[in-house]
Amino acid sequence: MPLTPQTSALGLTTYKGSWLPQQTKHLLNRTLFGAKATDIKYFLDKGVIASVDELLNVQSSTIPPPLNEYNSTTFTDPNVPIGKTWINDISTDGTINSYRRSSYKKWLVSVWAGQERTIREKLTLFWSNHFGTEADAIVYGSMTYHHHQILRNNCVGNFKQMVRAVTSDPGMLRYLNGYLSTKTAPDENYGRELQELFTVGKDGGAKYSEDDVKNAAKVLTGWKIDANFNPVFDSNRHDTTNKTFSAFYNNTTITGKTSTNGALETDELLTMIFQKSEVAKFICRKIYRYFVYYAIDDVVETNIITPLANAFIANNFEIKPVLKLLLSSEHFYDTLYIGCQIKSPTDHVITFLRQFEIVFPDAITDYSDSYFLYNNMVTQLISMGQNPVDPPNVSGWPAYYQAPDYNELWINADTLPKRNKFTDLMLEIGYTKNGKKIIANTIQFAKTACPNPSDPNALIESFFSFLVSTDISTSLKSNLKTQILLTGQASDYYWTDAWNNYITNPTTINFNIVNTRLKTLLKYIMNLPDYQLQ
C-alpha cells in the first residue's frame, strides 16, 4: 500500500488536467463519505471548478431532527412522545439523556448515509474532531445536538465566528468546565485548549506561555449555563482585573470590565489570538491532513500551507476560499495523493452503504425499525475505533493528529478483521428488523457499476475502478475473472451465459449462480489491503 508517497512539488495553481472518473472519484472520496455511481457521473459532466463550487455550496440545513424512537414497554420519556423530537426538551435525567445520546448517533449515521452532494457532513466531522467534545461527558442529549449544529451550520463559514460560538456554547462550557469557572477559581481547561487545540496550536512559532493560559482563563470567567440550557454571563463571577499577556501576544493587556461588559473581554481575547498568523497555518495544516495527506514537509509547507494560510487571513478567516483553493489545485489531483489515505471507520462503513445504495426504512415514518438498523452501523463504527460524537478526549481521534502514524492508526490486528467482517456480512446476510432487510444487492450493484455486466472483463475493470483507488495488476484481475466469474474455465462465455440466463429467466437457480460469483468476487476485492485506501 503506497502509504508514503513522495512529496509533490505541485502548488495551488488551478488544475487543468484531464477530468476523468479517477479525478472525479478522488474529489468525492475526500469531500463526501464515498461516491455513488450517480454522483461520479453527475460531477464528471461538470468539470473540476463547477464540481468544487457545488460541493462547497452548503445551504442552511433543513435536515429533520432526531426523534424519540426509544420509548418501549420498559421505558418512557415523560416529556417527549414517541416519534417526536427531543432536541429542545430540557431534562437532567441520566437515563433519558443516555437514550437521547444513543438516538443522536443513530440519526447522525442516517444523515451521513443520505447526505446531500455537498461537503457539509464530511466537514462537520472534521470540525467535531477539531473542537473535540465527548457526548458522554456533556451528558445532555440536547446540548450535544446543539453543539454539533453549530459546527454543521458554520462548516464553510467564518472560522472566527465559529470559535466565538463554540466558546460560549453550553455543550463546550460543560465539557471543559467553563460553566464552573469563577473569579475565585478560574478553570484553565478551555483557556488552554482554545490556544493549544482550537486556534494557535503547538507547532512552529506558537510560543504562548503558561501565564497566557491562566490569563485566558480569567478572561473567560463568568460564563455559565442557565436552567434552560442557555449560555449566560454572570458578572458577579467574573474576574475584573486587568490581564496582561506575554510577548507572543505583543504584551497585550485586556482591561478588566465590570457588569455585563465583562462578556466583551471574551471577544477581545479572540481578537488578540486571531492576530497571530500561527492560527491560519495551524488550521490549514489540519485541513491539509484531513483532505490530502498527513505528511507535511518543507516543500508542502512552502508551496501549500503558507499560501493557504495567507488566503485564509486575506479572506478574514472565511473557510470556503481556502477549501476552494486546495480542492481545485494541481497539488490535490497529483496522482501521488490518489489512494494514499486510509479510510476512517466512518468512511469505510458509510461509503459501503452509499456505493451499494443500501435502502433503510424511512427515518420519519418508520423510525423504530430505521433507528434499530442504523444502530447496527453505530455498533460497527464503535468496534472499528470511531465512536460517533464520542472521541477518546478533547484532542479528538488520534488518527487525525498523532504523529508520525496519523491515519495508519485506524488499522491494526483488531480493527482490520472487523472491517473485513463488516463488508462480508453486508454481502452475505445483512441485518433484518421486522422483515425489513438491509443487504447489498450484488446484481443491482453490477448493473450500476458496469455499463455491460455480461462482459466479465468489463465487469472486473468496473468493480476495481469503482471500489479501489490504487492500481491493481492485470494478472490479479485476470486470475479473479478466471477463478471466480468463469469458475475456473477458460472462455468468457461461462460468465456471459450465466448473466444473460439470469436476466432473461430470473429463477432462483439462475439467481444463485450469478449472485454467488458476484459475492465471492466482491468479498475478495473488499478484503484486499487496497480497498482500505481512498
Nearest-angstrom CA–CA distance, 474 and 468: 14
- The set of residues, in sequence order, having a beta carbon less than 8 Å from that of 346 and lying 6+ positions away, is 33, 112, 125, 381, 386, 388
Helices marked H in 259-366 — which ranges? 264-273, 277-291, 298-300, 306-314, 319-327, 345-355
β-pairing, 253-254 with 243-244?
antiparallel
Q: How confident is the model at residue 5 (pLDDT cuts 50, 70, 90)?
A: low
Side-chain half-sphere of 346: how many Cα atoms within 13 Å? Answer: 29
Segment 204-220, tens digit of pLDDT: 788 999 999 999 999 99
Side-chain half-sphere of 368: how many Cα atoms within 13 Å? Answer: 7
Question: Is 70 exceeded by the pLDDT of residue 276?
Answer: yes
Per-residue burial over 86-106, b if 16 or more Cβ lie within 10 Å, else e, is bbebebeeeebbebbbbbbbb
Segment 92-104, tens digit of pLDDT: 999 999 999 999 9
Reduce the DSSP state of residue 405 to 3 states and report it: coil
What is the torsional sign of CA 490, 491, 496, 502? negative
Segment 282-334, tens digit of pLDDT: 999 999 999 999 999 999 999 999 999 999 999 999 999 999 999 999 999 99
Q: State how far the alpha carbon of 331 is from the alpha carbons of 7, 13, 17, 84, 337, in Å.
A: 10, 8, 11, 47, 8
Segment 471-490, tens digit of pLDDT: 999 999 999 999 999 999 99
Cis peptide before 404 (omega within 30 of 0): yes
Write the DSSP string, 356-381. TTPPPPPTTTTHHHHHHHHHHHHHHH
β-pairing, 243-244 with 231-233?
unpaired
Contact criterion met (CB below 8 Å) for 128 and 152: no
Percent residues over pLDDT 70 in the chain: 99
What pLDDT was estimated at residue 8? 84
Name the β-bridge partners of 94: none
- 10 Å Cβ neighbour count for 211? 12
Residues, the chain, total?
534
Contact criterion met (CB below 8 Å) for 95 and 81: no
Nearest-angstrom CA–CA distance, 198 and 219: 17
Per-residue burial over 159-168, b if 16 or more Cβ lie within 10 Å, else e, is bbebbebbbb
Q: Among 523, 378, 377, 340, which Cα is nearest to 445's?
A: 523
Nearest-angstrom CA–CA distance, 358 and 441: 8
